[in-house]
Amino acid sequence: MLSWQDALAHILAHTHTLNTEELPLHEAAGRLLREPIHAPFPMPRFSASAMDGYALHHADIAQASEASPISLPVLQHIAASQAPAPLKRGECARIFTGAPVPDGADAVVIQENVTAQDGHALFRAPATSFQNIRPLGSDCSQGTLLLPQGSTLYAGEIGLLAGLGVGMVHVTRRPRVAVLACGSELRRIGEPLGPADIYESNRHALAVQIREAGGDPYLLPVVPDQLDALQAQIREGLHADVLISSGGASVGDHDLLRPAFDALGVATDFWRVAMRPGKPLFFGKHQQCLIFGLPGNPASSMVTFEVLVRPALQKMLASPALYRPLLCAQITEPASNNTKRTHFVRGQISFASPQPLFTPLSSQSSADLLSMRQAHALAILPPSSAPVKAGDSVQVLWITHANSLQLLA
């Protein structure tokens, strides 16, 4: 059996980055940028007022005070859409937030500190140079690298691109991922359950994991343990960039996945990985389609996706970060390990102490759906004959988003 690290290396060696596509900005949210974006002009493009107030040369009111206010004539009203005329010494201009500061002015006094009367403005305190002004190029100069290739386009990035006048961007095409579940005991949501039936959940959970990883999932029908039916759906799934199946990959009499793959000419790279959960895992390739046969138990399916499938999708997308964050944490309770297989222990992580704390869930059953709802992270316990004790340091794969944690201090 391969170690999980060797299995991942095999998978990534067969994984290639997908081609790019050009999208309108409003369709590019969440996508990975495949071109660097440089500032086409300085930002801001002109010196702009940061407040509603009065633009002037600060030296003109250097001696202003409550006892001796200084009055300047107001000769312009400058809105955000107007190009102002130059301002002479001894004059001021009414100006509004975002409007260009006229040549000859180097300060803006906020309107709350000014009394306007009879076409003049009365100032009772001095101003400083560049007070309440955003100077030209103060955010960045022309040519500055603003978004490197590989950036994910979130709201801030989309807003920045719009502000630069960028309407189309080159991004990585999303990997199309077919998701298959096999098992005669599986029923679709809404179907009546027989005495030995269960509702199929793996396709739905995997679809969410695929979307979160940047892929585009589509669900193939649930397939009973019948070789012809299984081959028909696999044949359909082979048109995708990735085919993921759950169930049927072990060695039971009704585990037909590997015979179906063999019959369709799928090249097997490996089968079985020294990890828990997830030992009966298949990986192969058919032309350009990567094929993963994940275990049928729900927790096993979701854990093996996080550890071995998600990095491959990230490589397809040309993501600069293939892996989830890996932390060093202190385990709060003893945890079982294994002398032959790496154990990925589901648990919760807390940042209430200087060092992150990891608490294993009470159930580590591969069939426990609730455990994946509760898990924030996976502690990686390598093969060892020594038990893991409370207080030991462990490596933890953080598999959830920070805003979903309920244990943050």
- Give tens-digit pLDDT for 331-368: 999 987 777 899 999 999 998 888 899 999 988 888 88
Q: Kindly tell me if the per-residue pLDDT of 263 is higher than 60.
A: yes
In sequence order, the 6+-apart residues with CB closer than 8 A to the CB of 248 are: 182, 183, 225, 230, 254, 255, 256, 257, 293, 296
User: Distance (Å, rounded) from C-alpha 377 to C-alpha 393?
Assistant: 14
The answer to the question of residue 330 being in a domain is yes
Domain boundary residue, one of 134, 159, 191: 134
Residues 97 and 180 in one domain: no
Q: Which two tokens stand for residue 38?
A: 């440089």
Q: What is the pTM of this model?
A: 0.86
- Determine the pLDDT at residue 188: 86
Q: Residue range 235-257: average pLDDT?
A: 80
Q: Which residues of 31-45 are buried (b: 16+ CB within 10 A; e: fewer)?
A: bbbbeebebeebbbe
The answer to the question of residue 347 being in a domain is yes
Nearest C-alpha neighbor of 219 from the set 238, 232, 235, 206? 206
Q: Kindly tell me if the per-residue pLDDT of 291 is higher than 50.
A: yes
CATH code for the domain of 397: 2.40.340.10
The answer to the question of residue 91 being in a domain is yes
The answer to the question of residue 247 being in a domain is yes
Residues 164 and 35 in one domain: yes
Residues 160 and 246 in one domain: no
CATH code for the domain of 311: 3.40.980.10
What is the Cα gyration radius of the chain? 31
Using pLDDT thresholds of 50, 70 and 90, give the confidence band for residue 407.
very low
The answer to the question of residue 266 being in a domain is yes
Q: What are phi and psi of 170, to 5 degrees?
A: -95, 125
Q: Which two tokens stand for residue 332?
A: 């709060």
In sequence order, the 6+-apart residues with CB closer than 8 A to the CB of 159 are: none
Give the per-residue SS3 of 252-311: CCCCCHHHHHHHCCCEEEEECECEECCCCCEEEEECCEEEEEECCCHHHHHHHHHHHHHH
User: Distance (Å, rounded) from C-alpha 285 to C-alpha 267?
Assistant: 5
- Determine the pLDDT at residue 248: 64
CATH code for the domain of 34: 3.90.105.10
Residues 345 and 377 in one domain: yes
User: Distance (Å, rounded) from C-alpha 90 to C-alpha 56?
Assistant: 8
Residues 54 and 78 in one domain: yes
Residues 79 and 108 in one domain: yes
H-helix segments, 189-265: 202-212, 227-237, 257-263
Q: Residue range 311-322: average pLDDT?
A: 95
- Domain limits at 191? 4-18+173-316
Residues 75 and 93 in one domain: yes
The answer to the question of residue 409 being in a domain is no
Residues 28 and 73 in one domain: no
User: Distance (Å, rounded) from C-alpha 152 to C-alpha 30?
Assistant: 6
- DSSP-derived pairing of the beta strands 198-199 and 186-187: parallel
Q: Kindly tell me if the per-residue pLDDT of 404 is higher than 50.
A: no
Residues 38 and 156 in one domain: yes
Domain boundary residue, one of 276, 298, 316: 316
Count of the separate structural domains present in the chain: 4
Residues 165 and 234 in one domain: no
Nearest C-alpha neighbor of 373 from the set 340, 399, 341, 393? 399
Residues 82 and 128 in one domain: yes
